[in-house]
Amino acid sequence: MNLATKFGAQTVLDVGCGTGEFIARLVDMEVSALGVDPAAASLQIAQSKLTPGSAELVIGTVSALAGDNALRNSFDMATMTANVAQVFLDDDEWLSTLRTIRRCLRSGGRLVFETRDPADQAWERWTKEATHRTVDLGDLGEVEEWIETTNVGGEFVTFVSPTIFHLDGERIDSTSTLRFRPKSVLEQTLSEAGFTEVEIHDLPYAPGRGWLFIATAGS
């Protein structure tokens, strides 16, 4: 959040905006924001957090914006928070995403994203015992949830995220796969996509476990 202020960003593209936590904060800072996410249900929740017209939300992937000339060179900053940068499993999809983001950024604009360091092997801590929690959601009653790794194959890690609603016993199981790319590969793909200067920092909230990338769009 401080980076938007630091770089004086007035327009931000939030890729994989999810339920809108980051978008809502940008709006509070009077930053113009566009959020993109393929999950319609998540965008409905995001919309409920926003004043009508305060931000634009688009259902789909960022690559769908590639043909919109109105968005070319429109943003000061683009972001991928949490694990968004790791959901692009295919090399071509990842590079296409970066190129579309570059196209949407003004020259000198920044792409900011975070990703986990494979050497930390975070997936080894993704067990029911370590992540299990129960939260009270008021009218929805108590909700039980955890994450659990089910498969590790090279750079690809698959895990399940069960959610159990105690009020009626409903259980929802979500399965996800993340790709843990090495730092050198991330740097190379950023260069191929048209980004010049690349800064790599330790994650402030998880030192030693991941990286914060800040890549500058070339001219």
What integer is the mean pLDDT of 58-75? 84
Write phi, then psi, for 64 (nearest 5 degrees). Answer: -65, -15
Write phi, then psi, for 169 (nearest 5 degrees). Answer: 80, 5
- My answer on whether 213 and 124 are in the same domain is no
8 A C-beta contact, residue 143 and residue 168 = no
Residue spans of alpha helices (H) in 112-194: 128-131, 183-192
pLDDT at 138: 85
- My answer on whether 89 and 139 are in the same domain is no
Which pair of tokens denotes residue 114? 């975070």
What's the total number of domains in the chain?
A: 2
CA distance 164 to 142: 9
pLDDT at 186: 98
- My answer on whether 48 and 6 are in the same domain is yes
Query: Is residue 10 predicted with pLDDT exceeding 60?
Result: yes
Residues 14-57 have pLDDT tens digits of 999 999 999 999 999 999 999 999 999 889 989 998 988 889 99
pLDDT at 196: 93
Q: What's the CATH number where 43 sits? A: 3.40.50.150
Which parts of the chain are beta strand (E)? Answer: 11-15, 32-37, 56-59, 75-80, 105-116, 133-136, 142-145, 148-153, 156-165, 171-179, 195-202, 210-217
- My answer on whether 44 and 110 are in the same domain is yes
Query: Is residue 64 predicted with pLDDT exceeding 90?
Result: no
- My answer on whether 17 and 88 are in the same domain is yes
Query: Is residue 66 predicted with pLDDT exceeding 90?
Result: no
Please identify which residue in the block is written with the tokens 């900053």: 77
Burial class (CB in 10 A: 0-12, 13-18, 19+), 208: exposed
Which pair of tokens denotes residue 2? 């401080």
- My answer on whether 28 and 97 are in the same domain is yes
- My answer on whether 31 and 66 are in the same domain is yes
Residues 139-166 have pLDDT tens digits of 878 999 999 999 999 999 999 999 999 9
- My answer on whether 113 and 124 are in the same domain is no
Please identify which residue in the block is written with the tokens 């159990």: 164
Residues 197-218 have pLDDT tens digits of 999 999 989 999 999 999 999 9
pLDDT at 201: 96
Question: Chain-centre distance of CA 122, in angstroms?
Answer: 17
- My answer on whether 62 and 78 are in the same domain is yes
CA distance 209 to 159: 18
Q: Percentage of residues in the chain with pLDDT exceeding 90?
A: 81
> Residue type at 72?
R
pLDDT at 219: 81
Q: What is the mean pLDDT of the chain?
A: 93
Residue 6 domain boundaries: 2-117+181-217
